[in-house]
Amino acid sequence: MNQAVNQLKSIEAQIAELQAQKEAVMVQEGLTAVPRTVDDYPTVAAFWNDQFTHREIYNPRQRFEQTVKDTTRSSWSNTWEEDIQNALEALKVNRPDLCDRETFLSKMPYAKVVTLADIRIDTSIQRKLYLEAIIKFINGYTPEYVMPIKVYIDENGDYQCWDGQHTAILQMLVGFFLVGLRPEDFNITVIVTPNADKEVMRNAFINENGAGKTEVNAKDIQEQHLYGTILDKSTNPEWLVTLEKHKHFVQNDLFVSDNRYSNTQEPGSFPRPAEFMKYSIPVIKDFSNFCKSFDNSLGVYEGMFSRMMLDYFDACHREEMDIDKTYIQKLASAIRNAGTTPSDVTYEIKQYVRKSQESHFLAEAKQMSYTPSYITNDGRVNRNTTNPTDKKCDAYLREVLKNKYDINVPSYYTTWTINEEHMF
C-alpha cells in the first residue's frame, strides 16, 4: 500500500515539474504572465487594465481555480466555492440517474459528420422560419461563424434538428448558390443529443434560445475589442474606437469594472460598461479627465453621478463647446462643493433638487386662490411631484454651474425657480 502511495506521489511530482516547465516556456513566449497582485502596480486601475497586455492559457481546471481565486479577493464575495459545492450536492440529489458513470457518459452529446440531406426539421419542435433572419445571415455570411446544428436521432434513425434550422437552410442556400453544392454532397458537423424524448428536446430548445444563454454584454464586447487590438493588432475601425477610449481611462487611472471580477467598488472603478461603449471618444476623454480632477480617480463612478456627467459632456460636444483642461478643472472644483465623493454628490444634488422644488411649489401655491393638485391635505408638496428625475437633476446642475460658478454650460430647461439658498 505504502509503495503504491509513494509511486503516486512520485508521478504527481513529475507532473508538477513538467507543468512548471511548460508554464515557464509559455511565459517566455508571451502566452501567459507571471501571477500578479494589486501590490505590483501603482494603482488598482493599472492592475485591472494590465490584463489586456498579455494572454493567459489555462486548462479548464486551472481556468476555474484562477477565476475563483480572483473573485474571492473581495470579502463580500468569498462564498463562491461553498455556493458551487452546494449546487453540486443539490444536482446529485435531483438527478441520481447521473451518478452512474456509464449512464452519465451515455447522455453526453457527441459530434458527427452528416450531409445536409440527412437533416430533418420537425415543425412541431422548431419555430416558424424567419426569412428576415436568413437574409440577415446571408448579408453577413462568414464560414467561421457557422455553428454545428443540434440534432437527436428519432425512432426512424433520422437526424431531427432541434436547434439550428436557420443555419441548415443558410448553408444550403449559400453552398448551392456560390459553389453548386447540393444537400447530399454538403458535409456538415452536427452535435447529436443522445435522447429522443421530445419533452427533453423542447426544454433544451427553450433553454438554448432563452434563459439558458449567458448573453454577451457590453463588458464582454469591450474586452474582445481590447484583446483584439492590443494583442492581435487588429485594425477593425470599431475596435480601434474602443481602444482609444480605453487609453483615456488608462491615462486617468480608471478601469471598466464588472461584478464577475468583484472589482466594482474599488478605486477608479467604472461599473457601467454599456455607457463606456455608448459614448464617443471625446466624451469619454473629458469624463476621464474630469474624474482625475474631481478626486484623483479614487472614487467609484457609478449611478447618477456618472450618468449625469457623461450626459453633460455629451451635450457640450453636441453644442460644439470648447472643453479644455482649465474648463474641466473649474467644473470639478465647483461640483466638489456638493460632495467630495461621487456618491456624496449624487445624494446632495437629489436633496437640493427636492428642497428647491418644494420651496418653489409652496411659494407658487400661496399665490393661488385654490389648492393646487400637488399640495397634500396637510399642506405639504406631494413628494411624487418633487421626485428628482434625471432630467431635473441635469437642469439643476447646469443652472447652478451657470449662475453661481459662472461656468458656460450646455442648454437646459427647468420648470421651477432655483433660489441661491438651494445651490451647492
Indicate the pTM of the whole model: 0.79
pLDDT at 30 over 90: no
Q: Three-state DSSP class for 381?
A: strand
> Given a cut of 90, is residue 404 above it in pLDDT?
yes
The whole-number pLDDT of residue 256 equals 98
pLDDT value at residue 83: 86
Cell triple for residue 39? 501590490
The mean pLDDT value of the chain amounts to 90
Q: What is the pLDDT of residue 20?
A: 64
Q: What is the mean pLDDT of residues 320-332?
A: 97
Say whether 195 sits in a helix, a strand or coil: coil
For residue 150, give the 3-state DSSP assignment: strand
- Yes or no: domain 103-208 corresponds to CATH 3.40.190.10: no
pLDDT computed for residue 121 by the predictor: 94
Query: How far from the centroid of its chain's Cα atoms is residue 176's Cα?
Result: 39
Place of cell 393661488: 368
pLDDT at position 374 is 94
The full DSSP string for 182-251 is -GGG-EEEEEE-S---HHHHHHHHHHHTTTT-----HHHHHHHHHHHHHTS----HHHHHHHHHHHHHHH
Q: What are the respective helix, strand and coil percentages of the chain, to the nearest 5?
A: 60, 10, 35
Which residues lie below 8 Å from residue 387, measured CB to CB, with a gap of 6+?
Answer: 354
Radius of gyration, alpha carbons of the chain: 30
Lowest mean pLDDT among 66-75, 133-142, 182-191, 317-326: 66-75
Domain boundaries, the chain: 2-97, 103-208, 342-422
Averaged pLDDT for residues 160-167? 93
pLDDT tens by residue, 59-96: 999 888 888 777 655 444 557 778 889 999 999 999 99
**Whether 149 contacts 119, CB under 8 Å:** yes
> Does the pLDDT of residue 253 top 50, yes or no?
yes
Mean pLDDT of 378-399: 94
Q: Any long-range contacts for 62-67 (C-beta under 8 Å, 24+ apart)?
A: none
Candidates 260, 255, 258; CA nearest to 70 is 260
pLDDT band at 241; cut points 50, 70, 90: very high
- Dmax over Cα atoms in the chain, in whole Å? 101
Task: Say if residue 275's pLDDT is above 90.
Answer: yes
276, 313, 410 from 316: Cα distances, Å: 17, 5, 5
- Tell me the residue type at 419: N
Degrees (nearest 5) of the Cα angle 96, 100, 102?
A: 140
Where does the pLDDT of residue 18 fall: very low under 50, low under 70, confident under 90, or very high at 90 and above? low
Burial of 383 (0-12, 13-18, 19+ CB in 10 A): exposed
Among 29-33, 368-372, 391-395, the range with the most confident prediction by mean pLDDT is 391-395
Pairing of strands 119-121, 159-163: parallel
Which residues make Cβ contacts (< 8 Å) with residue 235, sequence separation at least 6? 229
- Once rounded to an integer, what is the mean pLDDT over residues 114-129? 92
Each residue of 132-143: pLDDT tens digit? 999 999 999 999
